[in-house]
Structure 1
Amino acid sequence: MNYADRNLPYWRRNLAVCVFGSFTTLVSLTMLLPFLPLYVQQLGFTAQADVVQWSAVAFGATFFGTAITAPLWGRLADRFGRKPMLIRAAIGMAIVMSLIGLARDVTDLVVLRLIAGLIGGYASASIVMIGSQVPREKAGWALGVLSTGALSGNLIGPLVGGFLPQWVGIRGTFFVGAAVIAVAALATILLVREDFQRGVDGSQRTKNSADKQDSTRWPIIAALLVTAMMVLLANMSIEPIITVYIGHLGVAFDDQARVAGVVMAASALGSILTAARLGALADRIGGWNVIIGCLVLTGILMLPQAYVTQWWQLAVLRGLMGMTLAGLLPAIAKLIRGAVQAHNTGKILGYLQSAQFSGQVIGPLIGGQIGAHSGLHHVFLVTGALLVLCAGINGWIKSRFDGAPAGLDQSTAPR
């Protein structure tokens, strides 16, 4: 009996715990967004250029660490089991989150955020566990539920970060986040079940000639990985410095963190509203068409964000942008699963996660540098141009390479 069959009785309960754990860890990771520039100021920097740049570096450090170690944790999960990886991520993040609340200077903040990324990755580990345990006929639904938990965490996190510091202080907010992650760790230890036989499940599978077939599809895969990176880059290019931008729109200093939380949450809310619908649209009209259309629309929506005069205008535009961004990742995953052989799907989806985390690193860095040296409104203009360029690349790849791989973007492709 293989791993999936042995763990079939446990997948529903494991899914519930993983949704809760993904939600809480992402709330804790994103709740600092509204007050991150304020925390950097508390730690010793007052000049706007310094605050903008160090906020971007501190925010991106976590995702840089995760992008580096995600493939490693995936290999260890195959060797030692999925549950140990969940426990490692939850406990590690709870400890590091507490230490961030004790940071003495910006260097401590950046290093601890980097460590959080290196040892974290609860949501990624959840995808590996649920994806390998759930019955094939329910895989799409289960992973969709798991994705909703992660998106909800991204939505609630900035809202929590906008209000909680007023009650417990900025440093106290990190301790609250650590306590919530600790609850997720306890739930994982006590409730998640896994029947893992290291001698069987941890053995290496032999490769076959199908790997050579996959090599001919690397132009398609590479374009999709770059596009996945652009999805997160577009969303994250302004978020670490959005509090500063809102200040330029006339919002009072005491209200900046709260308003920034609302604006940031608008993007995640828009994605939650349209993700399922755009995923179904990709099934009907093809993943390439959805990807190209969403990239162009998102690029266009970036432009007016550079010229808003009120914070609520920015919130509305970020919400609309979240709606168009939501169609990209489901369509990308659909195309990737159809472009590779079944035994290589996990490996390529691992690269997909690394690409997304890389976007979360590059986006804040680009936004921070452009905002500091050229003005905040240029961040929107450059990001919009990159999205339209990416749409053109996808159109060229579609016309040049699409059709050769069997099963790519067709109704018969693996779901």
Structure 2
Amino acid sequence: MNDWKRNLTFCWFGMFVTMIGISQIAPVLPLYIKDLGVNDTALIERFSGIAFGATFIVSAIFSPIWGKLADKVGRKPMLLRASIGMAIVIFFIGFVTNVYELIALRFLQGIISGYGTACTTLVATQTDKEHAGFALGTLSTASIAGSLLGPLIGGYLEDTLGMRSVFTVTSFLLILSFITTLIFVKEEFKCPDKEIPNMKEIWGKLPNPELMITMFLTAFILQLAFYSIEPIITVYVSELSKNMVHVALISGLAFSASGMANILAAPKLGKLSDKIGPQKVMFVALIIAGIVFIPQAFVKNPWQLMGLRFVLGLAAAGLLPSINIMVKKIVPQDITGRIFGISISAQYLGTFFGSTLGGQIAATFGIKYVFFITSGLLLINAIIIYKGVYNKDILKLSQA
């Protein structure tokens, strides 16, 4: 097996296991906070929001820092640091005695995280440019697949073994990720002779800084757009279901439809990016995603919503992987970790603000307006991509 294929295989497994572990936690946070003695519903909602959002905000701050360290000491050490560090922190979350200890450890989890950044950087830097699209597209499916399975496993564990078992099992999965990474992931890394450049020097080394700013903005808008919808899917399905039974199951299927489509399409769109250019795939995917959001506001039943979200997932498979491919093909390898760190910070910020924004828009104007605003953001983003990069030669951009 080629080195890049072996690394892709085991990084995929590590990312998959890590995302299963992490995504198990979010659905049980409100229940855990109540179990810790908070009985007022408003307080539970407030503490849940803080505990959930804290990890993303802190991760956004620390992701570029870990990216810089990855460029200095290697990406594999960052994978090992993140997996074992999160395993320890999440294990202790299962033994907190009050909500303030929980929030403090969630902050610490955000500080010590970074597995996804290091994993993406390692695969990008160890894969030749001819196969970068396929490799990064395939890697993106690990995060999505893990995120889909995690809540299901977390709910099952909470029902059968109790609340705190979720954190113990999550810790075990992260240790498993640590062990497989340690044994199987190989990295050819040469320590830089010079000191890692500061941010001003990095911008000077970039062949096209304006393009990277466009990619960061796109990463932020994508996450903001998609996560503005996620928190209200269950509410929307409840309205559409009327007298249907098993609303929770139907909501789960609606939530998962886009993820399943993403898993199917991402490797294929990655290969297409290698042939025609990631900027072209990104532009078309943004147009399709922006258009598909509009009819979701007018569906009459959950099954129509599921169908449209499946189409949305097919389009979404050409978005974040395309950003990663652009970074891989344009950015000099010795600063790739820093740039991926900034890109993932933009995604974390988009996730946090999207989750907050969607609920506020739905509460103020109605759920349908969330779809309209999200569609508008994606179509505006498509215009930005078309004007900024669509007709440009990526090879020339990397040599600018």
The verdict on a shared fold, with TM-score over 0.5 as the criterion, is yes
Give secondary structure in 2 for the equivalent of 1:237.
helix
Structure 1 residue 248, shift from structure 2 partner: 4.4
Q: Cα 1:87–1:407, aligned 2, differ >3 Å: closer, same or farther? A: same
Distance 1:26 1:252, change over 3 A: farther
**Aligned equivalent of 2:165:** 172
| Residue of structure 1 equivalent to 2:396 | 407
How far did residue 292 of structure 1 move? 2.8
Say which of 322, 342, 347 aligns to 2:313: 322
Q: What residue is the counterpart of 2:289 in the other structure?
A: 298
Are the aligned partners of 1:34 and 1:258 in contact in 2 as well (CA < 8 Å)? no
- Whole-Å separation in 1 of the counterparts to 2:355 and 2:177: 28
Q: CA deviation at 1:324?
A: 1.0
Q: 1:210 to 1:302 in 2, by over 3 A?
A: closer
Helix, strand or coil: the match of 2:396? coil
**Does the aligned pair in 1 maintain the 2:122–2:187 contact within 8 Å?**
no
Offset from partner CA, 1:19-61 (integer Å, 9 cap, x none): 22211111122234545555556563665x7666654543333
Equivalent pair of 1:56/1:364 in contact (CA under 8 Å): no
1:129 deviates by: 3.0
| Cα separation, partners in 2 of 1:303 and 1:346, compared to 1, 3 Å | same
Partner AA of 2:86 in structure 1: M
Change (3 A) 1:83 1:221: closer
Distance 1:292 1:322 in 2: 15
Contact residue 296 and residue 391 of structure 1 kept, 8 A? yes
| Match among 11, 15, 22 for residue 18 of structure 1 | 11
Match of 1:68 in 2: 61
Q: Letter of the aligned partner of 1:397 in structure 2? A: G
Structure 1's unaligned 5+ residue stretches are 1-7
Kept in 2, the 8 Å contact 1:41–1:51? The answer is yes
Q: Which residue of 2 aligns with 1:272?
A: 263
1 CA distance for matches of 2:233 and 2:26? 9
Q: Say if 2:113 is the partner of 1:120.
A: yes
Matched residue type, 1:350: G
What is the identity percentage for the equivalent residue pairs of Structure 1 and Structure 2?
A: 39
* Counterpart residue identity of residue 139, structure 2: L
Which residue pairs with 1:154 in the alignment?
Answer: 147
Mark the CA change 1:304 to 1:114 in structure 2 (over 3 Å): closer, same or farther: farther
- Match status 1:92 vs 2:48: no
| CA deviation string 1:55-104 (max 9, x = no partner) | 45433332222221111112222333333322221122122323344455
Contact 1:234 1:387 (8 Å CA) reproduced: yes
Greater displacement, 55-64 / 241-250: 241-250
* Residue of structure 1 equivalent to 2:353: 362
1:349 to 2:340 alignment: yes
* Aligned pair partner of 1:237 in 228, 240, 243: 228
More deviation, 225-234/11-20: 11-20
Structure 2 counterpart of 1:380, which letter?
F
Q: Secondary structure at the match of 1:320?
A: helix
Change (3 A) 1:14 1:219: closer
Does the 8 Å CA contact 1:56/1:367 hold for their aligned counterparts?
no
Distance 2:178 2:44 in 1: 33
- Structure 1 residue 271 displacement after superposition: 0.8
Tell me how far 1:285 sits from its aligned partner: 4.8
When residues 308 and 36 of structure 1 are mapped into structure 2, their CA distance, relative to the original with a 3 A threshold, is: farther
* One-letter amino acid matched to 2:167: F
Conservation of the 8 A alpha-carbon contact between 1:299 and 1:388: yes
Calculate the aligned-residue CA RMSD, in Å. Answer: 3.8
Q: 1:377 to 1:51 in 2, by over 3 A?
A: farther
Whole-Å separation in 2 of the counterparts to 1:81 and 1:318 = 38
Judge conservation of contact 2:130–2:274 (CA < 8 Å) in 1. no
Q: Higher mean Cα deviation, 325-334 or 140-149?
A: 140-149
CA distance in 2: counterparts of 1:68 and 1:273, whole angstroms: 32
Structure 2: tracts of 5 or more residues without a match: none
- The reply to whether residue 221 of structure 1 matches residue 212 of structure 2 is yes
C-alpha deviation, 1:308, in angstroms? 4.3
> Which amino acid in structure 1 is aligned with residue 385 of structure 2?
N
Pick which of 115-124 and 231-240 moved more: 231-240
Return the TM-score normalized by structure 1: 0.78
- Going from structure 1 to structure 2, the CA distance change for 1:205 and 1:236 (only over 3 Å counts) comes to closer
